[in-house]
Amino acid sequence: MFKKIVFVALLWFPFSCQVKDDAGFIPIKQDFIQQYLALFPDETPLSIDNQNSTTLHIPTQEVLDSVRDFHAFFSQKLKENSSSSRAKNHANDFAKMQVILKNINLYLANSQTNPSVYDVRPAFERLINTNFMPLTKRLDLIYDKLAFVPDFYDAAKKQLKNVSDKNADLAIQMSITTYIFFSEKLPQLLYQEKKLTPQYSERLEFTKMAIKDYIAFVESFRLEKTQK
């Protein structure tokens, strides 16, 4: 599944701070973490006091331009330090940064041609499956996070241009699974926890509408080809 390939390596890595700071490499790592999490707030470590738990990475053109700048800047930084003692003394963190940059490059390379890179479900499943606070409170965070889903898919549609049938098929399959998650799995969980309020149901409806619209949008690339 392409989405998993792109984003598994974008999960938070606990960088080591116990290594000697060879001429300032720790500040580079700290800047990397800070800027990365500003661009991908939903990858922030989940904790009780973490406000980023309720936000999403919205793939607007401005954000993707910033992601490209981030990738270019830190790729150059790692290149400059690859043959120095810093790379050896910070080998684990250096490797983690390389993996993140590699996967960001995959994300950017497919941002206009592969609609399967745009899927909100993993961010919500992470909130459900990570036991960092009581489930009822995590469901409250999910309610807040749902508000960003329409903007996420609107931004994604503006990015996509040249979509192959193969990529369209994969994205449609993934999006159907995501639709089922929001129409069945999450509502069942909310019902069990007595959290399925009218307000929550309304927000779920807007979420499902955004996903259905995205599926139709991706399907339109196939229809355009059959009509030519």
What pLDDT was estimated at residue 51? 61
Residue 182: name the closest of 128, 219, 115, 111 by CA. 128
Which of 5-19, 66-80, 86-100, 192-206 shows the lowest per-residue confidence on average (mean pLDDT)? Answer: 5-19
Classify the phi-psi angles of 23: left when phi > 0, otherwise alpha if psi is within -120 to 50, otherwise beta: left
What pLDDT was estimated at residue 12? 46
Q: Which residues contact 109 (CB under 8 A, 6 or more apart)?
A: none
Spatial contact of 151 and 118, defined as CB atoms under 8 Å apart: no
Which of 28-37, 156-165, 183-192 shows the lowest per-residue confidence on average (mean pLDDT)? Answer: 28-37
What pLDDT was estimated at residue 25? 78
Tokens 């069945």 belong to residue: 184
Q: What pTM does this model have?
A: 0.86
Return the ∠ at Cα 125 (arms to 124 and 131), rounded to 5°. 105
- 3-state helix, strand, coil split of the chain in percent (to 5) is 75, 0, 25
| Average confidence (pLDDT) over 138-154 | 96
What pLDDT was estimated at residue 53? 74
Could you give the CA distance from residue 162 to residue 150 in angstroms, rounded to a whole number?
22
Local confidence band at 113 (pLDDT 50, 70, 90 cut-offs): very high
| Average confidence (pLDDT) over 92-120 | 94
Q: Which helix (H) or strand (E) holds 122?
A: helix 121-129
Q: What is the length of the chain? A: 228
Interval 25-37: pLDDT, tens: 788 888 999 899 8
